[in-house]
Amino acid sequence: MARIVMKFGGTSVADIARIRNVARHVKREVDAGHEVAVVVSAMSGKTNELVGWVQDASKAEGSNFNIYDAREYDAVVASGEQVTSGLLALVLQSMGVHARSWQGWQIPIKTDGAHGAARIQDIDGSFLVQRFGEGQVAVIAGFQGIAPDNRISTLGRGGSDTSAVAIAAAVKADRCDIYTDVDGVYTTDPRIEPKARRLSRISFEEMLEMASLGAKVLQVRSVELAMVHKVRTFVRSSFEDPDAPGMGDFDNPPGTLICDEDEIVEQQVVTGIAYAKDEAQISLRRVSDRPGVAAGIFGPLAEAGINVDMIVQNISEDGSFTDMTFTVPSGDVGKALAVLEKGRATIGFDAVQHDDGMSKVSVIGIGMRSHAGVAATAFRALSEKGINIRAITTSEIKISILIDGPYTELAVRTLHSVYGLDKQ
């Protein structure tokens, strides 16, 4: 007997028929004798609808602006998961499974007070463990908790993944299964490269890089939590027949296991290629080269909530001036330029230039730590395809390259091939 947390996303619970399919997955694990907690998202599209209602309701008459109380926002948008958890509990009961629904505040999942983007601070799993002992399945509303002001809080988009991993850590689950509309983690996006392969295993660190660099399979915070608490996490498809061969295999079910790198016997040099479109490059020309200038540039950007990524600095020959180039999401360009112009006198620069429509392509793999020449291989391959590199950043297990957006798909396919990821 094992303890399992199963998480189902919005497309998996989009209607009653799909909720019945989810219930079959849950019943399979219950019938195998496992203790089960289920975390559910709102039905597909429901959260967007609820957010739209909040925005419409908060507009003052005759105004196009909507400034709303984040606590009431949370009260409204958290209701989507409440509906799903109740419906799944009802379906499970109709199938003879002893189940009940739980809201975040009932467990309780305690968060900080940042309504709309709260972070989990503590989970008391004792009630759940007690109910496991009574043979009960806990169906938990994801994405939500309770803030210090005793009001419902939500964890931000994709928060149900984080809920599931946090609950798995709190109840010391043997594994956390994230069911989604894909059947695992692939070497790259199969929509771009049909030869992309599903990975049987990937390390926490690699998955964290993949998630933060563009792969949409898991929310970044959920991978961080899994890595910190060593929660073995499976990415699986909810659209597989619940009774298909191998679906009940506890050790090696179909999907991708995210685990400690010690569990990966044969490590590839490169594990995957990730990409993120809609990046913008901003360059400050002839910036005074003095202590504190970087803080003067990036401090105000951080205070404005602008996420700066790749940073390149060039020093002039006489050392008195520097050029500073960095990237931000394309949607933040206007705000970033306004912040920089406001601080122009303090920072001291001659001109600011920007280019939209950039893409960041990243090569990821824990095997890069012990292999030389990985970066050179990428640069040579892109050069042969006529792809110009705008900026480069590296870490122990990743190389990120900024290129012009129209070359994204060619770059992904080229790098996927040059590292042999299209071969079995």
The reply, when asked if residue 7 is annotated as ligand binding, is: yes
The reply, when asked if residue 9 is annotated as ligand binding, is: yes
Whole-number Å distance between alpha carbons of 171 and 107: 11
Task: Tell me if 363 sits within 8 A of 273, measured CB to CB.
Answer: yes
The reply, when asked if residue 216 is annotated as ligand binding, is: yes
The reply, when asked if residue 217 is annotated as ligand binding, is: yes
The angle at the Cα of 74, spanning 5 to 227, to the nearest 5 degrees, equals 35
The reply, when asked if residue 393 is annotated as ligand binding, is: no
State the amino acid at position 380 in one-letter form. R
Beta strands 233-237 and 175-180, pairing class? parallel
The reply, when asked if residue 209 is annotated as ligand binding, is: no
The angle at the Cα of 208, spanning 215 to 311, to the nearest 5 degrees, equals 85
The angle at the Cα of 367, spanning 364 to 371, to the nearest 5 degrees, equals 110
Q: For residue 201, give every residue at least 6 positions away whose Cβ sits within 8 Å of its Cβ, in sequence order, or none.
A: 256, 257, 258, 259, 263, 264
The SS3 of residue 77 is helix
As beta bridge partners, residue 279 has 329, 358
The reply, when asked if residue 232 is annotated as ligand binding, is: no
The reply, when asked if residue 305 is annotated as ligand binding, is: no
Extract the tokens encoding 373.
């020449």
Task: Tell me if 254 sits within 8 A of 183, measured CB to CB.
Answer: yes
The reply, when asked if residue 191 is annotated as ligand binding, is: yes
Label each residue of 206-248 as H, E or C: HHHHHHHCCCCCCCHHHHHHHHHHCCCEEEEECCCCCCCCCCC
Extract the tokens encoding 17.
């028929």
Extract the tokens encoding 64.
């196009």
The reply, when asked if residue 10 is annotated as ligand binding, is: yes
Extract the tokens encoding 253.
């079910």
Q: Which residues are annotated as part of the binding site?
A: 7-10, 47, 81, 180-181, 186, 191, 216-217
Q: Which residues are annotated as part of the binding site for substrate?
A: 47, 81
Q: Which residues are annotated as part of the binding site for ATP?
A: 7-10, 180-181, 186, 191, 216-217
